[in-house]
Amino acid sequence: GQNIDQPTEMTATEGAIVQINCTYQTSGFNGLFWYQQHAGEAPTFLSYNVLDGLEEKGRFSSFLSRSKGYSYLLLKELQMKDSASYLCAVRDSNYQLIWGAGTKLIIKP
């Protein structure tokens, strides 16, 4: 079956750096997405990786290793507004999105 694993919850300190990991096992691979979802709101797109390596976008970076079935989202200079759930999603060979359960990130002052 298809499966995406990410930690349920993480806690970090304002101003620090946090890495949220995602491992996946899917039928084929056509890209990996990270979305941010604040409580009570819809998800918003953060990043997209289809080739191995690091994609940097401001304070957020996303890494992909296809051979390991692994990705991480790196958040730098954490701000209180970064408190949210972070969803990892993989697009399989049928171009269907497989969603992880999300990682709830708690930022403490």
Partner 1 sequence: GAVVSQHPSWVICKSGTSVKIECRSLDFQATTMFWYRQFPKQSLMLMATSNEGSKATYEQGVEKDKFLINHASLTLSTLTVTSAHPEDSSFYICSARDLDREAGELFFGEGSRLTVL
- Residues in contact with partner 1 by CB under 8 A are 31, 33, 35, 40-45, 48, 50, 87, 91, 97, 99-102
Taking the complex as a whole, the smallest distance from the CB of residue 48 to partner 1 amounts, in Å, to: 4
Q: Name the minimum Å distance from CB 61 to partner 1.
A: 16
Q: At 99, which amino acid appears?
A: W
For the chain, helix (H) and strand (E) counts, in that order, are: 0, 11
Smallest distance, partner 1 to C-beta of residue 15, A: 27
Distance CA 6, CA 86 (A): 9
